[in-house]
């Protein structure tokens, strides 16, 4: 099982979770909030192993019967299903029914709900019932990139902790540990990832993502320049549909990471990206769409 000690970054947060277990002061509900890809799930899994370990010191002992398991019967991860990828009310009802049955082996039962913001009001209200009367042994951890999407009634009954993106050095260290690779491409992926470890891994391993990221970076550099230069990106980015989609997604991530919400033209460009993605779904003409997109972005930047 993942341990909090094996993770990189968010030191204060990891210490807080470890100390809560060691002191026996664990809340029934936690919300880990932070941008997509910063490692919320790994943190939650690390916390879960500390909660399930028989020694309860906050650091999994690695020797007890709980620590030695790869999958634990008292740990459940609930994820979205179907086309919408939403966490369904049925899954929450199943969680509720299960939570009132005593733990199988450990002293606790831990539930992790990933992408909790996808729960509709019905699902969140079903969860509220267990937040109001939690069994003593249950710990429920919600993971979300969008805290405002969680009902205030749930938020007020949970401990909310913010998960921060890693620094470039922390990301590079984590990449090295995870991939066993070394070299300049590690640092490059770390620099471009905005501290989101799963995105950095993607950059490091996926060739098309890498190509699209480079193109998006050149595009950003060309934004303040001449219109005709920016328009030369249209045929390059729209060489094929996959590349264009990857380019848009990279551009969006780069804008979101570096711009901050005060930069209005970046916000406009992000809106343009959302718009053009919708048009792409409608099977619009690729080269025409790319051309208009470049034009729109140039206007937003000038």
37 or 58, CB closer to Zn ion? 58
- SS3 of 3, please? coil
Nearer to Zn ion, 67 or 166 (CB): 67
Which of 139, 140, 145 shows the shortest CA–CA distance to 163?
A: 145
CB closer to Zn ion, 58 vs 165: 58
Smallest gap from Cβ 50 to Zn ion, in A, equals 9
How many Cβ atoms from other residues are within 10 Å of residue 155's Cβ?
17
Helices assigned H by DSSP within 39-157:
40-52, 89-99, 121-132, 152-155
CB of 67 to Zn ion, least distance (A): 3
Count of other CB atoms within 10 angstroms of residue 62: 12
Token pair belonging to 121: 């009001």
> Which residue, 60 or 194, is less far from Zn ion as judged by CB?
60
Interatomic CA distance for residues 114 and 142, integer angstroms: 6
Least distance in Å: CB of 106 to Zn ion? 10
Residue 87 C-beta: closest distance to Zn ion, Å: 29
Q: Return the number of the residue (62 or 224) whose C-beta is nearest Zn ion.
A: 62
Residue 55 CB, nearest distance to Zn ion (Å)?
5
- Both tokens of residue 241? 């549909």
Q: How far is the CB of 109 from Zn ion (least distance, A)?
A: 16
Task: Report the residue number, 106 or 126, with the smaller CB distance to Zn ion.
Answer: 106
List residues binding Zn ion (CB under 5 A).
53, 60-61, 64, 67
Spatial separation of the C-alpha atoms in residues 148 and 212, rounded to whole Å: 31
Expressed in angstroms, the distance from the first to the final Cα of the chain is: 51
How does strand 138-144 pair with strand 109-113? parallel
């Amino acid at each position: 099982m993942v341990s909090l000690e094996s993770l990189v970054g968010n030191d204060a947060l990891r210490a807080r979770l470890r100390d809560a277990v060691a002191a026996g002061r664990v809340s029934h509900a936690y919300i880990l909030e932070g941008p997509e890809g910063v490692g919320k799930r790994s943190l939650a899994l690390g916390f879960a192993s500390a909660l399930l370990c028989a020694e309860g010191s906050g650091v999994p002992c690695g020797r007890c019967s709980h620590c030695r398991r790869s999958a634990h019967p008292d740990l459940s991860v609930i994820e979205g299903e179907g086309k919408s990828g939403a966490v369904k009310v049925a899954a929450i009802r199943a969680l509720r029914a299960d939570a009132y049955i005593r733990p199988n082996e450990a002293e606790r039962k831990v539930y992790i709900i990933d992408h909790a913001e996808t729960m509709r009001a019905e699902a969140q209200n079903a969860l509220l019932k267990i937040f109001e009367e939690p069994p003593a042994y249950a710990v429920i951890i919600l993971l979300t990139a969008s805290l405002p999407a969680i009902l205030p009634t749930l938020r007020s009954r949970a401990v909310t902790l913010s998960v921060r993106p890693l620094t470039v050095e922390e990301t590079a260290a984590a990449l090295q540990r995870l991939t066993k690779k070394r070299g300049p491409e590690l640092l490059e992926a770390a620099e471009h990832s905005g501290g989101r470890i799963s995105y950095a891994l993607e950059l490091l391993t996926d060739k098309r993502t890498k190509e699209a990221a480079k193109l998006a970076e050149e595009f950003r550099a060309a934004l303040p320049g001449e219109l005709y230069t920016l328009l030369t990106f249209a045929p390059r980015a729209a060489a094929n549909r996959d590349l264009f989609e990857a380019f848009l997604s990279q551009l969006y991530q780069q804008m979101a990471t570096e711009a901050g919400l005060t930069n209005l033209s970046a916000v406009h460009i992000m809106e343009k990206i959302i718009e053009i993605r919708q048009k792409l779904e409608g099977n619009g003409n690729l080269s025409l769409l790319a051309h208009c997109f470049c034009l729109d972005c140039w206007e937003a930047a000038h």
